[in-house]
Structure 1
């Protein structure tokens, strides 16, 4: 995975939140989010590896209850693992959008996604309004 550019001054979360709107997605903010995404990628990858190692070496259990507990724990780990594996490509896509200059802007409307939303979900592709409409449509078609 790529490394953050240490030549740029690293902003803090507070500085990002306090910055004027005119600073939105300037080079320092892009570098901040680039570092955040790289860190997220690395920690996600570490959690995936740890979960795989845990599942690869099941404990020897003779008790049925212990075995059932292990199997339930394994099923939960599998769901978490699957979810985390889906996150890695999203992180890579976000890093690609940083390189292309489109990071921080809604893929559909072109409007700013917003600093608070990106801090909460650095891989966000849509502004809150567009995402809400998409979720309503998804739920309507699911019903």
Structure 2
């Protein structure tokens, strides 16, 4: 298994070779395991309701559970994205911008392994979103 240093030291001509794809597949599978653990911890915590005698304590407990449910929703959405990304690796589409077809880049993928857009296209997208918000 490659280390990050070995991955980054590879020549550009070897972009998304089998070793690199395997590195990211392993990284994403590890992320999936962590997300599953986090979801299970949330489920266990929510499944053990606390009965508080004090109304304020009960309200606080309910608010904490609402926050946990929001977190569980975010984790579930991220899990779907990780699964989609793993499928992209299997299909040979991983590491390339969905809009321009340009390489996303190893450094960007190390930071955000589920990235689908290169940095330039993401900046354009965010600029359009920002402009749209201002116009409204």
Match of 1:92 in 2: 83
Please give the secondary structure, in 2, of the residue aligned with 1:61. Answer: coil
Provide the rounded CA distance (Å) in 2 between the counterparts of 1:16 and 1:69.
Answer: 47
Match of 1:5 in 2: none
Match of 1:45 in 2: 36
Provide structure 2 residue ranges, at least 5 long, that are not aligned to the other structure.
none
2:55 to 58, 64, 80: 64
Match of 2:27 in 1: 36
Task: State the aligned residue count.
Answer: 134
Report Cα offsets for 1:11-64 as digits up to 9, x if no partner. Answer: 011211222212211110100000011111121122112111211211121123
1:77 aligns with 2:68: yes
CA RMSD after TM alignment? 1.4
The 5-angstrom pairing of residues 1-20 of structure 1 reads 10-20=1-11
TM-score, normalised via structure 1 length? 0.86
Please give the secondary structure, in 1, of the residue aligned with 2:114. Answer: coil
Please give the secondary structure, in 1, of the residue aligned with 2:101. Answer: coil
Runs of 4+ in structure 1 off by over 6 angstroms are none
TM-score, normalised via structure 2 length? 0.90
Provide the rounded CA distance (Å) in 1 between the counterparts of 2:120 and 2:64.
Answer: 37
Q: Tell me which protein shows more helix as a share of its residues.
A: 2
